[in-house]
Structure formats: C-alpha cells, structure tokens
Amino acid sequence: MDLVLISAAPFVLALALALPAVQGKLSKATQTLVSSLVMAALFVWLLSFLPRVQGQGAIVQTFEWAPSLGISLSFYLDGLSLLFGLIITGVGALIFFYAGYYFDAPAEYNRFMIWLSGFAGAMLSVVLSGNLLLMFVAWELTSVTSFVLIGFKGADDAEARAGAFKALFVTGGGALALIIGIIMLSVAAGQILYPDEGTRIAADLTDILRATSLAQHDWYTLFAILIMLGGFTKSAQFPFHFWLPGAMSAPTPASAYLHSATMVKAGIYLFARLSPVMYQNELWSSTLLTTGLLTMLVGAYFAVKQRDLKALLAYSTVSKLGAIVAMLGLPGQIGIKAALVGIIAHALYKSALFLVAGTIDHATGTRFIDKLGGLRQRMPAMFAVTVISALSMAGMPFLLGFVAKEVLLDAMLHYEGRWTALVMLVVLFSTAFTAMAAYMLIYDVFLKKPRQSIHFHQPPSLIRLGPLILSLLSLTLGFLLEPLIVPLLAPAVPKSFELHLFAGFNEVFFLSLGVLLAGFALFVVRKPLIARIGFPLSCDMIYDEMLEYIGWAGRSVLHTQSGFVRYYLVIILGAVSLVLIASGTLSTVTAGQSFIPRDLSLTITDLAKIFMLILTVTAGMLTVVVREHVKAAIAYGVIGYAIGVIFLIEHAPDVALVQLLVETMATVLIIIMLGRIRTRTRLNVIQSLWTGRHGYNLGLVRDLVISVTIGGAVFIFSLIALQSRPEQQSVAQWHLENARVVDTEDVVGAIVADFRGTDTLLEIAVFTTAALGVLTLLARGRQSGSAFVPRTAQVSSLHEFDEDVVDEIQDATSLSTPFTRTVSYIVLPIAILIGIEQILYGGIGPGDGFTAGVTIGLAISLWYIVLGYDEAKRQLPWFRPEIITRLGLVIAIVNAAIPILLGKGFMGHVQYDKVLGIYELVGAFGLHITSSLIFEIAIAITVMGGLGIIMEAIAYPAARSNGRRHSAEAVEATS
C-alpha cells in the first residue's frame, strides 16, 4: 500500500493544484512550500525503506488487475528503484521550491506545477512499478508531461512547439519499439518460467528477474534491440540525442528536473533494471558500450561549441548519459557501480548548473555565453554554486564528481575486450572536453569582462536555496561515502564493493589529473578550437529531412480526401456493396433459403399489418420524390405513425405509445428547424437535387445502385432472421414470470425500470448527452456570434422566390391566434396530469416515464411554437431545462445508489412503502412506492428536460442571432 501511495502522491498534488479553490486562495509562496514539502516528505518516506531494502532485498506489493494479460498493479522497490526514487523526490523537492521563485506570475507557476507534479508522479511510477507493462504506461506518461513542459511557452513560441514535438516524436517512436520489446520479453519469460501453460505473459519484474536464461532465448536479438531502441531514444543516445538540446525551450526548472536529473535517466533505469537477465549476451553489452561511448564523445565534443548556456548543459548531459550507458554495457556488470555513482553525481551537479542558468536567465534576460560575463560580484551565491558544480562535473578532487570519474576510469581500465585502447582514448578525450566546458562555465560567465553592459535585476533571494543545497551535496558527499553513499548503493550493486574518495596515487588518479590538465589546455586554446568544431551533417538535419518526407506523404494521402462527406459515404457503402456482391457472401448466405413464402395464408391482423407496411413504404418513397421539404417531413411523420400502429398490432402497446409521441415530436422538430433555414437556401438544393451535370445524372444511378444493393442485403438478412427465429422466447420467459415480484402488471415497464434498469440509466444519460450536443452546437453560435465553422459567402435573403408553409413558423406571430394560445394554455396542465398518471399507474397499463416525459415535452414545444421563444420563456419561468435534466439524472443515480446501502446492489429493487410501513395505505390507491417508481419519475424528468433543451436550442430564433447579423454583414459586403 505504501508504494502505491508514494507514486500516487504527486498526482494527487497535481490535482490539488489544479483545483480552482487552490489556484484562487493559496498564494504562490504557500503553494511552493506545500508542494516541495510533499516531495521532501516522500523523500523521507522512501528513505525509511532503506533498512528493509538492505535487509530483505526487494519489497513487492501486487494488486491483481488483468491477470490474463499479465498486467498487474504491482510495485517493486529494491536498491535500484530506491536510488532513483530518492533522486526524483529529493532533487524534486529542491526544484519545486526553486520553481516558486523562478516564475513571477502565479497563474503561470500554477499551470507549470500541475504538469511538473504530474511528471514527478509518472517518473516515480516508472521506477516503482513492478510490472513492465505498468512501467510502460508510466513511461509514456513522462513523455506526455515532458511534451507539455517543453512546449510550456508554445502559445507564442514556435521553437518551443517544435522542440516539444521533436521530443515526443523521438521518445514516442522509441516507446513503440519498447512496448513490442516488453511484450516479447514477457512472453519469453513466460515460456521459460511456465513452459506448460501455453502463451503466458510474465511481465512482473519478480518473474522476469527469475528468468535467467532469457539471454539464450530465440527471440533475444529482436527484443533486446527493441528494448534498447526504447531506452536509447529516452536517454538521448546517439543518434537520437538531438531531441534533448531541442527540449531546452522548456522552462529551466523543467530542464533541470526532467532533462538532466530524472526523465532522461529512465532509459538508463531500464537498462540497469534488465541488466541482470540481459547482460550475458554479447549483443547487449557491445551495443550499449558502442552507443554509449559514441554518445559520450559526440555530446562532449559539441557541448563546448554551444553559445546558449542551456544548450551547453544539454550536450554535456548527453555526454554523461552516454558514459553511464557505456558503463552499463561493460561485460560482466563491472560498470554498475560506476554508473550508479555517476547518476547521483550527475543529478546533483547538473541540476544545480541548470538552476544557475535559469537564475541568470531570470536576472539578465539572456543565456548567451557571449553576452554574459562578470557576474561574480553580482551573483556571488550563484558563482559559488557554479564553481562547485562545474568542478564536480570536471571531476576535480575531492568533489563527488571526482569519485564518479575515478570509478568510471577504473571500470574502463578493467574492461578487457577488443579495442581497449580506442575505448580508453574516447573516454579520456570526452572527459577532457567536459572539463573544458566546466572551465568555460566558470570563467566565461562569471569571471571574464562582459563585452557589453548587461541588464541585471536581482532575483528573489530564496531562489538560491535549491542550487545552494545541491552544490553543497556535491561538495560534501565525497567525504560521506562510507556513511551515506555506500549503504545506498549496496542493495543496487550485485557484488560487494568499496568506494574511496582517495584511492591512492594509482594510475586512475594520474589519468584523472591528466584529464583535468588537458581540459585546461583545451580551455586556453578554446577560441580557435571552437571555430573549427563542426560536422557537415547533423542528426537534426536528418530529422528535419525525414519530417519533410512524412509531411509530403501525409499531403499526398490528403489529395485523396475530397472533403465532401457525402462521397466518403459513397465510397464506404459502395465498397460494402461491392464486397457483398463480388465476394459471393450474399449467395452463400442465401443458399438453401427459399424466398418464395411457402405459407401464403393471411389472417385479418396480417392484412392490417401489410396495409400498414405498404403505407410505411409508400410514405418512405414519398420522402424521396416530393420536392418540398415540409411535405417530406410530413411523409416522414406518416412513416412514424404507421410503424406505431404496427407496434400496436404486434401487441406492444408501450412501444406504440412512445413511438407515436416521439414521432410527433420528431416531425414537429423537423418542421421547426425548416423554419430556421432560409427559404432560398432550401430552394437552391431542391432545384439542383435531380439535375445532373451533363444532361444525364450519373450520380443518381450510382446512388440508386448502392442503396438497392444495401437494401437488398438488409432484406435478405432480415428475411433469414425472421424465418429462422427460435420457436420459444428466450430470456424473456423469465421476465414474464417474475414481473409480479416487483409489483408491476406491465412486464415491459418492469424490464425498463427494474430488470434492466442499468441499461435504461445509461440510455437516458445518452439521450441527455445528445440533447447537450444540440445545445452546444446551437448555443455556441448563439452566444459567441463568431463562426466556429468557417463561413462561405453569405447570400442575403431575397424575396423573388416563392415562399412556402415554413415561412409561417419563421414569424411566430402568424401562429399566435387566440385559439392556438388557449389550446396551448389548456394543453400543458393536462399533459402534466397525464404524465403523472402514466408514472403512477404505468405499472398497470401502457405508459411509463418515457411517455410521461415526452408528453409534457410535447406540450411545452407547443408553447414554443405558438407563443414564440421569448414569450414562452417569459411565461414559463420555472421551465429551466438544463436544471431539470440535471435534477432527473441526479435522482436516477441517487435512487440507483441507495439500494447499495440497503445491501441490494446497484439498481436493486427496494419497496419503500414496505420499508416505511405505508404499504397498505398507498396500496388502497393502487400505488406501490418502489425504487422503480422513483426511477420512472427520474426518467420522466430527464426526458422532459432533454426535450426542453433540444426544443429551446432549435426554436431559438435564428434570425435574431447569426442569421440576421450575417445577412446584414453580407449586404454591407455587397454594397
């Protein structure tokens, strides 16, 4: 449980910071203090695990999640994860504190901290997760949060956007390889550990670390390469390193935290984590070693050329990451100790240096080395921090960085393979350049005289705290190796080991000193040297080129997109028809089926049904052939009513009632909507509907062929379905027999409100969502007044066209006669009464919450039509559809939840009248107060509210909002 809490805590912090209450109420200083204290507390909490980790090894906490997929919510804490966890929380606490003084605007700070805390949570989850698939999820989360943080200033900084995209593109692409690698690895581990269980995904770390023969597995080459790809992209290894300098557009606290101390070490964590089962293969070690050394060289070499402080630090980070990867690749795991010491040392000095860069940026407004200089007097604290941290980076005795370099050189000296001399040369060369970069940081920024006067304002004094503590650690930890560092590393390193601040005047020591001196020599000749550094081809260029091609490919595909939605439908349905006909599916299905009805006998009811079906089909044809939209809408209404009658004949009175009401509503809705569309607009489409371009209408033929094919297929499908229907009713039998239990006469009502109540609950939620969709669509145009869909040229309404019935609705006054007013006044109370009756006695006869809601909704829509929007709004002040809908849904959910308290489960059936002891009393009125009754009420309220929302949105006079304004604009434009 503890580990879950630890990795969840930063997420909770992020959510808390996102609360409007926190944003408004708490000052920036308070937020800063709280968030860094949270991280500090997590640091202490993690530290308290140290004795247990030392004693018993890994702590594992597992919650089953999807065992069949091998995914578990599993947490794993051993020496390695503890080390990373401590860096994440410890450095995190200092950087969180720093960020509070780095940002001046509270809102900006708050937005930044939400994402930074989210990142901290994701990163902690990466190192604490005990399941590779879970780790992958967290891994991706770090990429996403990193994307947002790099692009933090993206709203007005194209470079930040490009950098963020580049980082996501590279790390995300690597993650694709990684997930495949992880799955293959897990399956391989499953084969090794559970040979008898078929395909089993063993993604838990406990399993994988037991599968020691993974290095001999057949798939090893494939999954090792995929996993290494994932790690290389994340940890900015050559040739993927270029995203890291690009990521420097992030605010400096994020660069310090994500892009030097934590996230870029995720790949290293992955390698170290899997090293025990992977290292025995030559492929693993040689790839890691080669890539690491190359990265180390490239990073160190190009670092000194950078003029931007942060870019310099980024390249030197790349170099150090390469060194660590190379250490992990040394055969026989001899480099693990050096890698881990390197990780600690680097996290401390590099984040301190980044924070210095941020502070300088904050104080002077620039990060360019050429513009800077002489900051020693103005920023003495920053100068001290830089001296300590940069020298630690260079490996000056007796700082922590010195220890790191000593063990690195020592491990390299122990490397016995081919090319040992070359390897050593690369390492010495890179470390010399790193030392040179360190001297440049100290001299060029703080000591040398600036070329021009620079703007300077003193940053807040507390901004110094984080960097000072970090550099103090770099300074002192070297002397505290035995008491602090060794116990921390001991559980993470496979063999017993020692660490010495000063191991004597051995060859490592002299090499180390030599590198420092060589670095100084390079520093002295830096001006001519830097001018020569360069390479005609950079990975950035290749990346840009590649992006160009991807863009080109995308645009080429886009050419096939006409933008006409109708043609997409033609292609989709046309393809379906083609497949149906060409593949012979139709003939296969129909084989052995007779299409000529064998039994030609018809009863009287059958004749009635057939009459109604003919009516339906005829009306359907009419909707196609009539020219006027109003007539088509009315024909559509006929279809609805005819189907309603069929429902009635088919002994489905409830369905028939709902169908009749809803179809009325739908027809009314179409006609109202027609009134919102200008006559001219509709006439245009009617006129062009049947005319082809070349005298004949090829499109018409095409549409006819497609729809006849689809209709034919549906006909065959439904005929087969109807003919091979099972004789007996299926589950329905049970419902019929048990409806009495819930005190309902109407079995359909019992199913809707009780047996399948959860379905209904979801259905009314869907209905409400649809209603809200209508509201959003139409209200947006209404309030903002600005087009959110681009507008083409507007044609103002002209009078030369014939007007039709719909114009009546466009102007509500023509409908508002004394008679219609009286009717609508009378209808509403009656409708409400009918609604109440249907709810209360819906159990006995047809009707239920749905019909009640639709009935009342219909009466209200009559008001909107007859009285017009404004008048109806004024006269029905209590009718606030948004609130009514909310009320209905809340009642429904509360009513569904109460049975849980009574031990009957979600949506359980409760007889409240029996619970309250009034069963006899209300029973005398033929009533049963049950949870289904309350649910019916909730359904009615929700449906009524939803209809109200739709009605209001559609009946809102368009002419008053955009229509008229646009026409006015158009008139202005034309005149």
Partner 1 sequence: MIEFMFALAIGILFGIGVFQLLRRDLIKAAIGFAILFSAINLFFVAVGAFEGDFAPYVSNVEAGRSTSDPLIQALILTAIVVSFGSFSLVLGFVNIISRRYDTVDSNDINKLKH
* φ/ψ of residue 69, rounded to 5: -95, 0
What is the footprint of partner 1 within residues 45-74 (CB under 8 A)? none
**CB contact at 8 A, 824 and 863:** yes
Least separation in angstroms between CB 522 and partner 1:
54
Distance CA 971, CA 950 (A): 31
In DSSP notation, 777-822 reads HHHHHHHH-S-SS---------SSS---TTHHHHSGGGT--HHHHH
What is the footprint of partner 1 within residues 648-677 (CB under 8 A)? 650-655, 658-659, 662, 665-666, 669-670, 673-674, 676-677
Which residue among 553, 714, 826, 890 contacts partner 1 (CB under 8 A)?
714
**CB contact at 8 A, 928 and 841:** no
640 binds partner 1 (CB under 8 A): yes
Task: Pull the structure tokens for residue 845.
Answer: 């006869």
25 binds partner 1 (CB under 8 A): no
Closest C-alpha among 471, 473, 346 to residue 407 = 346
How many residues in the shown chain lie near partner 1 by CB under 8 A?
Answer: 132
Segment interacting with partner 1 (CB under 8 A) among 172-180, 363-371, 717-725, 904-912: 717-725
Which residue among 198, 504, 536, 790 contacts partner 1 (CB under 8 A)?
790
Distance CA 819, CA 84 (A): 80
854 binds partner 1 (CB under 8 A): yes
**CB contact at 8 A, 812 and 865:** yes
What is the footprint of partner 1 within residues 949-968 (CB under 8 A)? 950, 953-954, 958, 962-963, 966
- Between 503 and 666, whose beta carbon lies closer to partner 1? 666
Least separation in angstroms between CB 599 and partner 1:
6
Task: Pull the structure tokens for residue 931.
Answer: 């949870």
Closest C-alpha among 678, 604, 666, 659 to residue 634 = 666
613 binds partner 1 (CB under 8 A): yes
745 binds partner 1 (CB under 8 A): yes
418 binds partner 1 (CB under 8 A): no
Q: What is the C-alpha radius of gyration for the chain, rounded to an integer number of angstroms?
A: 37
| Torsion, Cα of 591, 592, 597, 598 (10° steps) | 170
Which residue among 684, 758, 784, 974 contacts partner 1 (CB under 8 A)?
684
725 binds partner 1 (CB under 8 A): yes
- Between 369 and 751, whose beta carbon lies closer to partner 1? 751
Q: Bridge-partner residues for 131, per DSSP? A: 204
**CB contact at 8 A, 436 and 526:** yes
Least separation in angstroms between CB 673 and partner 1:
5
Closest C-alpha among 657, 640, 566 to residue 849 = 657
Distance CA 968, CA 965 (A): 5
806 binds partner 1 (CB under 8 A): no
Segment interacting with partner 1 (CB under 8 A) among 151-159, 420-428, 787-795, 827-835: 787-795
Least separation in angstroms between CB 853 and partner 1:
8
Which residue among 174, 358, 781, 881 contacts partner 1 (CB under 8 A)?
781
740 binds partner 1 (CB under 8 A): yes
Exposure string of 342-361, with b = 16+ CB inside 10 Å and e = fewer, is bbbbbbbbbbbbbbbbbbbb
Which residue among 58, 412, 752, 828 contacts partner 1 (CB under 8 A)?
752
Which residue among 1, 582, 624, 901 contacts partner 1 (CB under 8 A)?
624
Closest C-alpha among 173, 288, 132, 279 to residue 220 = 279
- Between 63 and 568, whose beta carbon lies closer to partner 1? 568
SS3 76: strand
696 binds partner 1 (CB under 8 A): no
Which residue among 569, 823, 921, 973 contacts partner 1 (CB under 8 A)?
569
State how far the alpha carbon of 532 is from the alpha carbons of 241, 302, 683, 838, in Å: 22, 11, 74, 89
Which residue among 242, 523, 647, 864 contacts partner 1 (CB under 8 A)?
647
SS3 131: strand
Least separation in angstroms between CB 714 and partner 1:
4
590 binds partner 1 (CB under 8 A): no
For the window 310-349, what string marks contact with partner 1 as x by the rule CB under 8 A? Answer: ----------------------------------------
Closest C-alpha among 454, 470, 255 to residue 384 = 470
What is the footprint of partner 1 within residues 867-926 (CB under 8 A)? none
**CB contact at 8 A, 177 and 140:** no
Which residue among 18, 73, 465, 573 contacts partner 1 (CB under 8 A)?
573
